[in-house]
Amino acid sequence: MNPTATLGVQRIGQIAINAKSIPSTTAFYRDVLGLTFLFGVGERMAFFDCGGVRLMLSQPSSPELDHPSSILYLVVADIDAAFDHLKRSNVVCLHEPALAARMPDHELWLCPFRDPEGNILSLMCEKRPPAAG
């Protein structure tokens, strides 16, 4: 095996998220998060566009695949406004927006929450200091 060879991955093509109830989880991703619904396959699958990455909601195909998804970090411009939207939509947030890290040119803020299936997602915002003027 050539250690310098690469697989050639160019980007994420699709992320699968487990869901037992496709209709209610579809409504959450479409109506609460505002993702663009692309198409569905009956009540078994639903597909969304999230900034060029396709999200697939699907029922687990076997018991070993029946577990919560990886954490998706959804970038927002205003984390406080997005948090207020989640609260008004009765979304279970694990905590309010919180500073996760100070970087040289911005602060990274996160706000984790759960979808109707119990999967954890998180709002993510890079707050930059006001421009010196």
Question: 34-77: per-residue pLDDT in tens?
Answer: 999 999 998 899 999 999 999 999 998 888 888 888 889 899 99
DSSP state letter for 93:
B
Which of 11-15, 53-57, 80-84 comes out lowest in average pLDDT?
A: 11-15
Report the predicted TM-score, pTM, of the whole model to 2 decimal places.
Answer: 0.76
Residue-level pLDDT at 17:
93
* Pick from 90, 17, 84: nearest CA to 55: 17
Measured CA to CA in angstroms, residue 130 lies from 43, 66, 133 at distances of 47, 45, 9
Instruction: Show the domains of the chain with their CATH numbers.
Output: 12-61 (3.10.180.10), 68-133 (3.10.180.10)
The answer to whether 112 touches 122, Cβ cutoff 8 Å, is yes
Phi, psi of 16 (to 5 degrees): -95, 135
Q: Is 103 helix (H, G, I), strand (E, B) or coil?
A: coil
